[in-house]
Chains A and B, each alone.
Chain A
Amino acid sequence: MARENFKREQEVLRTLFLDGGAMTRRQFAAQLGLSMESLDKVLSEIKRALDAVGCDDQLRCEKGSYIFARDRRSSSEMVQKVLSVIYRMKAVRQTEIERIILILRQLQQGCQTLPRLIDSFMDELKVEVDRKTAQTYIDYLIEVGIVSCNNKKRPFRYSLKPSLFELLANAELEELYSFVEFAANTDVFSAAGCLMLDSLAMYMRQKRGIEAGIQVTYKYNYFGRILDEYICHELLDSISKRKKIRIIYGGKESSRYRSFSGESQGSHRGVIIPVRIVYDHQYGRWYLLAFKDRPRKETYDVYRIERIKQIEPLEQTVDEAVFKRMIDSVRTGIDRSWVVSTVTQAEEVEVVVRFWFATGTGGTSANYIRERVEREGRWGTIEPEGENTFIYRIAITDMSEIKSWLLSFGSAAEVMEPEILRHIIINEWEQVERHYANL
């Protein structure tokens, strides 16, 4: 693939985040299918990026292992900043940085024409930049939305777009910061929010002398989702254009992490039609639902986004009516699935669970079990039963997906129906019991 690929940085950051310190440098490289030299190169680039965003102490090498220095005092802001550093790794030449910075400085003083900007390259950087090159810089700044062209006739005059931040009073900036921080932590799409949070904090400090942010912690957040977000953006672009993509997918492999260096054992490639993206809050995971280009059956497949090694958007598009049928098929398929069941044509099964609760413990009258079932029980229904029990019912297409959630209640949940799920749960508890058999 000719396009820049961030899979290495993504997997190195994921490994550091999830089990930083568990592997030696050699194991780390082997696990990711990289040479030690390549791993060191990726890590030194990540380290440079972390230094630049003020997280220099978050990555260190100790006793032959790389450690992501995360602890309770690392605010959720810091963890997010470390992981979102991947969005600051698009390659750019130093000369381009210098020249664009110069353009920004010139425009901060007021409107400028292209010839004037070309002169300033010579005056300040002592370099001759041709008109075409200078125009590409300006076009880029217009494209990313920070510069505008003020007139329709020559000579064109360019200026910086008014910054949202400049239009706000100090108290409003603080309010905006709190809102952006909340949204960047709680919405499934966080990357652009992290970038905005950073530029807002920078603006508040430099231009208003305000230190942004107070002590806020976003607990039990699956920050890892931010690493996979960029693939979702690429997929969404293809979906909105009904474009097919070529994919290399890791599939289930025995290693903890999948090698991203091309087609390793267990990976497969093919052309697919992406239709929908699903984010599951229970596991903190992204999924892609897609049809094979030439399917044998009219059913979709489920792909875990983190296992996608490469995608390449193709020019081929899918007929609108066909695409609509695919969307409808996926919607119907997952409408009654607990997550993204692949059992697409299955009939719904009613799962009946008796929940046991105790009130009055710790001097409270709250029914925590019921509160939790109400919060997490999706489209299920609750029927009051005895003094300490209630019945929960839910119709789902694949009962295996609800198993872990039911197990998490421990002895507070008893599966009544269907019989097979009852046995699955009993079997799982018996397996867990064997772990503690010698106690």
Chain B
Amino acid sequence: MPIFEKIHNYSFRQAVWEIGNPAPPTKIEMGWLKKMLENPQAKELLTDSFYEKLLTLVANETPFPNSSHVEEKGKPSAQYSSASVHLPVLRAAMRNCKSVIISYLQKNSKECFDVNGIPCRLEFSMARREWYLLWINPVEQPNRPNTTPLRMIRDARIGEGVVDWEYYQSSLREWFEQSQEMVQIKALECYPGALLSVLNAFSCFYTMVSSGKQKNTLQLHVRFLADEREYVLQKIRFLGSRVKVEEPEAFKKQMTLEIGNALARYSGESRTSIPANINGGNREKLRIVPG
């Protein structure tokens, strides 16, 4: 099945929009839906009865694409998929501008029961394959959101009364603006294609790019929130000598410290103390990437 179709052309879409009666989904869209329903996660994300109904409705479609010749490498394993059980309640609360009453576990393992909160946004981290809820506690912290992984939520139910959705959304936006940090990175073309790999690596952040002062360099201004700092550092370390942090000073110092610590690992005696029984011991198997 070709993915480029005239019926999907933008002028076509506009014309369909104007007649106010959308056409049925195409074979490609229906085939894709069938394919996605074959994914084990579909059962977790959809209610049982709706999942069965959808399966019946796509029964005559051909799955698209035929991915028997496709292999995925390095997909982070999702360990917390059962957390998606709270998604319907949280989505319903957000859609209807309602508060939620949640019981959850804090980072320090402290349990919180029946806390009234304003759900502001759901986030799914592709890096951790994990859902998070951004919510505001109007009593204790009305001006900044809490970020709670859904796996830490024990119970969630819709609260009474309608909340001022616009007010809390604008508070959230304001908080995002105020809490943003920025790191300036120089990307170096240390081998052909290195700049592209750096740009690609930071494409998952809000990044502004400008030409570097030296030939074959680029300046990247990467913006992120405080709780994303470690992930940004991880990306910088991942790229090794292809990048250099230029600003802020604190970030540079952190990098210098980290490099010093990393090199110190190799200069000490730690290696000789590694147990020699390489094949013995108490190994715990990780998942095996499907062939």
Contacts and interface: CB of A to CB of B under 8 A. Distances in A.
B208 A94 contact: no
Most interface-central of B33, B65, B77 (chain A CB within 10 A): B65
Interface string B1-40: 1111111111111111101111111111111110110010
Interface in A374-415: 374-385, 391, 393, 403-405, 407-411, 414
Contact of B45 (A178, A218, A376): A178
B27 A97 contact: no
B286 A378 contact: yes
A316 to B, nearest CB: 18
B264 to A, nearest CB: 7
Interface stretch (B87-95, B136-144, B156-164): B87-95
Given A22-B209, A104-B19, A439-B252, A283 B201 contact: yes
A219 interface: yes
A383 B289 CA distance: 19
A230 to B, nearest CB: 5
Most interface-central of B26, B129, B201 (chain A CB within 10 A): B26
B87 to A, nearest CB: 7
Given A17-B203, A252-B193, A436 B244 contact: yes
B266 interface: yes
Given A21-B208, A182-B45, A410-B262, A172 B23 contact: no
A280 B72 CA distance: 6
B200 A404 contact: no
A409 to B, nearest CB: 7
Contact of A217 (B29, B108, B124, B193): B124
A167 to B, nearest CB: 6
Interface in A190-235: 191-193, 195-196, 198-200, 202-203, 206-207, 214-224, 229-230, 232-233
Interface stretch (A36-44, A70-78, A117-125, A126-134): A70-78
Interface in B229-285: 231, 233-235, 237-241, 244-245, 252-253, 255-256, 258-266, 270-271, 274-275, 278, 281-285
Interface in A285-316: 285
Given A90-B5, A92-B11, A165-B25, A428 B282 contact: no
B241 A145 contact: no
Contacts of A420: none
Interface string A265-296: 00000000001111111111100000000000
B261 A411 contact: yes
A20 B209 contact: yes
Contacts of A145: 24, 26-28, 30
A276 to B, nearest CB: 5
B122 A216 contact: yes
A430 to B, nearest CB: 7
Chain A interface extent, by class: 35 or more
B46 interface: yes
B283 A164 contact: no
Contacts of A352: 274, 278
A277 B45 contact: no
B199 to A, nearest CB: 4
A191 to B, nearest CB: 6
A212 B3 CA distance: 25
Contacts of A380: 286
Contacts of B28: 144-145, 192, 195
A92 B8 CA distance: 10
A29 interface: no
Given A192-B31, A383-B284, A72 B15 contact: no
Nearest to B169: A215
A317 to B, nearest CB: 15
B67 A189 contact: yes
Nearest to A356: B265
Interface string A21-33: 1110001000000
B213 interface: no
A411 B265 contact: yes
A179 B75 contact: no
A100 to B, nearest CB: 7
Given A188-B72, A404-B239, A105 B19 contact: yes
A90 B5 CA distance: 6
B102 interface: no
Nearest to B47: A175
A103 B195 CA distance: 50
B80 to A, nearest CB: 10
A395 to B, nearest CB: 12
Contact of B66 (A164, A240, A350): A240
B17 A195 contact: no
A87 B2 CA distance: 11
Nearest to B42: A179
A224 B200 CA distance: 8
Contacts of A357: none
A202 B233 contact: no
A87 B3 contact: yes
Given A161-B24, A407-B237, A331 B291 contact: yes
B26 A146 contact: yes
A215 B94 contact: yes
Nearest to B199: A18
A96 interface: yes
A439 B258 CA distance: 14
Given A146-B7, A229-B3, A71 B206 contact: yes
Contact of A279 (B16, B72, B241): B72
A133 B69 CA distance: 38
B36 A426 contact: no
B82 interface: no
10 contacts: A92-B12, A183-B39, A196-B32, A214-B91, A216-B122, A222-B126, A405-B238, A407-B238, A416-B271, A433-B263
**Which 10 A/B pairs are nearest by Cβ-Cβ distance?**
A145-B27, A411-B261, A192-B32, A163-B24, A408-B238, A19-B209, A52-B10, A363-B108, A431-B241, A22-B209
